[in-house]
Amino acid sequence: MLKKLKHHQYGYLFIAPFIIAFLIFSLYPVLNTIFLSFTDRTLMSRTFNITWFRNFQLLFADKTFITAVKNTWQLWLMNFIPQMGIAFLLAIWFTNVRLNIKGVGVWRMIFYMPNLMMASAVAALFFSLFSFYGPVNQFLVRSGFIPEAIDFIRKPAIMRGLVVFIQWWMWFGQTTILLMAAMTAISVSLYEAALVDGASTMQMFTHITLPLIKPVLIYVLVTSLVGGMQMFDIPYLLTDGRGSPSNSILTNTINMYMKFHSSKGHIGAASAVGLVVFLMTSIVALLIFFLLREKKEQPEKQGARR
């Protein structure tokens, strides 16, 4: 059978496993989710009705859903912006020929370390640290910073800050490594030429580094966006799994999981949340591609870089 294939068609064989797995494990679930979102299906009954847009109607009338969408964006932006800032700074320092920092490998490893820890372990650690009878309160009271213990777990601003911090702490190493990889790939001769022409460090950064790492930037931005829109494990495990206190760390995915996990298992309503999040993420990701598109280069090249 293989003999019948022309030489240039072998490629199809090689990509077949991915395509098949994609159709079964990604496309089918997505289509099924879309179908479910138009039904009032629950896990506890054998029958269900097609209710068309009722789930969406209820969803947009539901303050909790709006809160969850807002929270998700806030939590993502608040951790992504400092994450990019720090990652840029570190990547520039580490790749700078003039600074020539020693032990880059060790630093890189240390920064990447938090990412290797299980989210559940990190969440449990921070929960214990900040609980009412926990060590943070003990330290602050005994050293006289605060007169009496604070119930951190019940303070919305503090818990939100914690989630942002944990997300930042777990992911800035990853972003640093990606940016460093992109920066080291830039030919040194470009910088040398710029130096000869008398360019400042800032000029080199904006005119050489930034344009050349743009594909990687887009990649980091889009993957972080997709990950951020689906933020689940840390906020879910940090408090009661319902985004408490006062829904301050309730994210889209927690909201979806709560609908699925309520006593009846409303998968129709949960799928509607999933679909809205999916559409929202896709539109914003497209927008990012559109705004950051390379105006002169060939599109194939962009694809190849990623």
Partner 1 sequence: MKRLFGILSVVIVLSMLLAACGATPAEEPAVEEPAVVEPAAEEPAAEEPAAEEPVVVEPEAGKTVLNVWSFTNEILTMAVAFEKTHPDVDVVYTMIPMTNGEYQTKLLATLGTDQVPDVVALEAAFVKSYVESDFLADIGDLQVYADELKMYPFVYEVGMADGVHRAYAYQATPGALFYRRSLAKEYFGTDDPVEMQELLGDFDKYIAAAEVVKEKSEGNTYMVASNGDFQNLFFANREQPWVVDGKLTVDPMVEKMIETVKTFRDNGYEARATQWQEGWFAGMNDTLQDAAGNPKKVFSYFLPTWGLPYVLYPNSTSADGASTTKGDWAVIEGPLPYQWGGTWLGVMEDTKQMDLAKEFIRFCTLDEENLTNWATGVYTNEYLKAIDPNVPDDQYQAAGDFVGSQVVVEKITASFDDSEMSNFLGGQNSYGGFAAAAPSVNARLMQGSDDAIQRALNDPLNSYLEGTVTLEEMWTLWKDAVRNEFPDLIIE
Interface residues for partner 1 in 139-198 (CB under 8 A)? 140-142, 148-149, 151, 153-156
By CB under 8 A, tell whether 38 contacts partner 1: no
Smaller CB separation from partner 1, 205 or 257: 257
Site for partner 1 in 112-131 (CB under 8 A): 128, 131
Site string for partner 1, 48-67 (x = CB under 8 A): -------x--x---xxxx--
Minimum Å gap between C-beta 92 and partner 1 is 28
Calculate the CA dihedral of residues 223, 278, 254, 41 and round it to 10 degrees.
Answer: -150
By CB under 8 A, tell whether 221 contacts partner 1: no
Minimum Å gap between C-beta 285 and partner 1 is 5
By CB under 8 A, tell whether 70 contacts partner 1: no
Minimum Å gap between C-beta 166 and partner 1 is 18
User: Judged by CB under 8 A, which of 79, 137, 174, 175 binds partner 1?
Assistant: 137
User: Is the Cβ–Cβ distance between 250 and 64 less than 8 Å?
Assistant: yes
> What is the helix (H) or strand (E) element at residue 119, kind and residue range?
helix 119-130
User: Is the Cβ–Cβ distance between 40 and 250 less than 8 Å?
Assistant: no
Q: How far apart are CA 56 and CA 273, in angstroms?
A: 8
Site for partner 1 in 8-27 (CB under 8 A): 22, 25-27
Spell out the residues 6+ positions from residue 16 whose beta carbon is closer than 8 angstroms to its own. none
Closest by Cα among 191, 231, 228, 226 to 208: 191
User: Is the Cβ–Cβ distance between 51 and 272 less than 8 Å?
Assistant: no
User: Is the Cβ–Cβ distance between 180 and 107 less than 8 Å?
Assistant: no
- SS3 at position 91: helix
Alpha helices in 205-266 (DSSP H): 210-229, 233-238, 252-261
Minimum Å gap between C-beta 286 and partner 1 is 5
By CB under 8 A, tell whether 251 contacts partner 1: no
Query: How many residues in the shown chain lie near partner 1 by CB under 8 A?
Result: 83
Minimum Å gap between C-beta 249 and partner 1 is 11
User: Judged by CB under 8 A, which of 112, 195, 302, 305 binds partner 1?
Assistant: 302
By CB under 8 A, tell whether 257 contacts partner 1: yes
